[in-house]
């Protein structure tokens, strides 16, 4: 009786009747759709937070961009975000782990007032310890440090790692929605956002977590470093999550800082399961609809819903250059198999599919014509579309789009393009396994 997708409902009904001894316990952990109280509480807290900060957010009014007025379709994305395009910003594309870590760590080192740090995965390894020691040092210098990590993504994060931060004065919390450890929200609704904000002036958003594997050879990722007034909207996203976990509100700066060289419009799009609409899926669909010449998409997982699948087909049939950059090898075998289910139909419509060869393609990036590009935490799957808390930065700047284009071109050169008949030529067991894996798509 809830908002579950039809395939998800069918999968649970069949499982509950066919294998009840396995399915009933799984349903109590993963499947119950009783999220009404959670949604209402989350919305209430977000609304309360926005009201309490209304006077501060009004300071962004002079920076509201008219860029969306050029295309009514952009207004729909603004409506989904409940945030307008903000002008006067600078965006820097960061490619791969070394460049991303260097930029974020430098930003932490020079912070003077406070740091907001949020990652889905934090490892207790070399890179994780480097982050920890920097945060401890800043706390000892008097900088206020707030850290939020996901309790499932960082399940193996050691207690000693957390205790050392706490003892140094760092405020660190896990994204733990309810008190009962058996509550399904702790397993199903994950905070997949990766965000760092320094002093309300600079922020970093993208696909990379904290761990040694994120700078290993062959790992491809992307982040964006942002300066300007729009950082306050990214800051608001963190505060919504922080207040949900702690019921407290850190004291932060709400003074907009416009860059000196004019700057570019940027739209921040936070998405999550408490949204009124399926914001992430609709956002991706609208990105595709916006494209007049090309839409290039990089994603580590590709298990799209029908809306996104249809939008990709229509764009390609309409003559738009639609390209998907996916990994050849993925860290999720089930998601990798399920992806084959869509390849033939997309190829038939004219979508070009590239499989990245050197390693794992983990970037989540959208290139829309020559007008702009989005760097995101959103994967092209049901979990990102409906279950995870995600964050996207859409940069409306041809120069930034040009940098993203160059990144894609290098990645395409390091990829192989799938043949039209590649899936049908695979052994029967692979095609059968793909169809079977696709039945689990609502849970992936």
**Residues annotated as catalytic (active site), given as ranges:** 192, 194, 199, 362, 364, 369
CA distance 285 to 83: 18
| Environment class of 164 (CB within 10 Å of its CB; exposed 0-12, middle 13-18, buried 19+) | middle
**Are the CB atoms for 271 and 304 separated by under 8 Å?**
no
Give, in order, the Cα–Cα distances in Å from 438 to each of 81, 336, 340, 431.
30, 10, 9, 11
CA 372 to chain centre: 18
Contacts of 84 (CB under 8 A, 6+ apart): 64, 65, 68, 78, 267
> First and final CA of the chain: distance in angstroms?
21
Please check whether residue 221 is in contact with residue 100, taking contact to mean a CB–CB distance below 8 angstroms: yes
CA separation for the pair 314, 351 (Å, rounded)? 10
Asked if residue 443 lies in contact with residue 8, where contact means CB atoms within 8 angstroms, the answer is yes
Cα distances from 21 to residues 8, 10, 25, 31, 344, in angstroms, run 19, 18, 7, 14, 37
């Amino acid at each position: 009786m809830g908002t579950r997708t039809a395939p998800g409902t069918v999968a649970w009904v069949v499982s509950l009747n066919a294998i009840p001894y396995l399915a009933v316990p799984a349903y109590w952990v993963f499947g119950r759709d009783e999220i009404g109280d959670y949604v209402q509480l989350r919305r209430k807290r977000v609304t309360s937070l926005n009201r309490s900060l209304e006077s501060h957010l009004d300071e962004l009014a002079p920076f509201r961009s008219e860029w969306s007025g050029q295309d009514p379709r952009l207004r729909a994305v603004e409506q989904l975000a409940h945030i307008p395009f903000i002008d006067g910003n600078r965006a820097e594309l960061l490619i791969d782990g070394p460049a991303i870590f260097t930029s974020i760590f430098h930003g932490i080192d020079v912070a003077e007032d406070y740091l907001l740090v949020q990652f889905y995965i934090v490892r207790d390894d070399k890179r994780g310890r480097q982050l920890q020691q920097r945060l401890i040092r800043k706390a000892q210098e008097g900088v206020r440090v707030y850290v939020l990590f996901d309790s499932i993504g960082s399940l193996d994060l050691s207690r000693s790692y957390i205790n050392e931060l706490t003892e140094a004065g760092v405020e660190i919390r896990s994204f733990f929605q309810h008190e009962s450890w058996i509550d399904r929200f702790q397993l199903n609704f994950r905070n997949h956002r990766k965000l760092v904000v320094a002093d309300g002036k600079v922020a970093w958003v993208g696909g990379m977590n904290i761990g040694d594997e994120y700078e290993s050879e062959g790992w491809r990722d992307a982040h964006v470093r942002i300066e300007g007034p729009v950082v306050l909207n990214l800051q608001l996203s963190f505060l919504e999550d922080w207040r949900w976990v702690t019921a407290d509100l850190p004291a932060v700066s709400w003074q907009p800082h416009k860059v000196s060289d004019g700057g570019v419009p940027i739209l921040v799009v936070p998405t999550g399961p408490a949204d009124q609409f399926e914001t992430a899926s609709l956002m991706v669909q609208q990105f595709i609809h916006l494209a007049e010449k090309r839409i290039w998409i990089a994603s580590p997982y590709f298990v799209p819903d029908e809306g996104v699948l249809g939008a990709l087909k229509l764009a390609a049939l309409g003559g738009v250059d639609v390209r998907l950059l996916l990994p050849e090898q993925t860290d999720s075998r089930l998601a990798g198999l399920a992806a084959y289910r869509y390849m033939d139909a997309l190829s038939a419509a004219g979508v070009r599919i590239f499989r990245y060869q050197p390693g794992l393609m983990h970037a989540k990036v959208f290139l829309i014509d020559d007008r702009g590009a989005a760097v995101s935490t959103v994967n092209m799957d049901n979990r990102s579309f409906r279950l995870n808390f995600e964050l996207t930065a859409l940069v409306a700047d041809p120069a930034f789009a040009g940098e993203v284009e160059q990144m894609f071109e290098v990645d395409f050169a390091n990829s192989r393009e799938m043949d039209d008949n590649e899936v049908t030529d695979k052994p029967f067991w692979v095609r059968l396994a793909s169809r079977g894996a696709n039945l689990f798509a609502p849970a992936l």
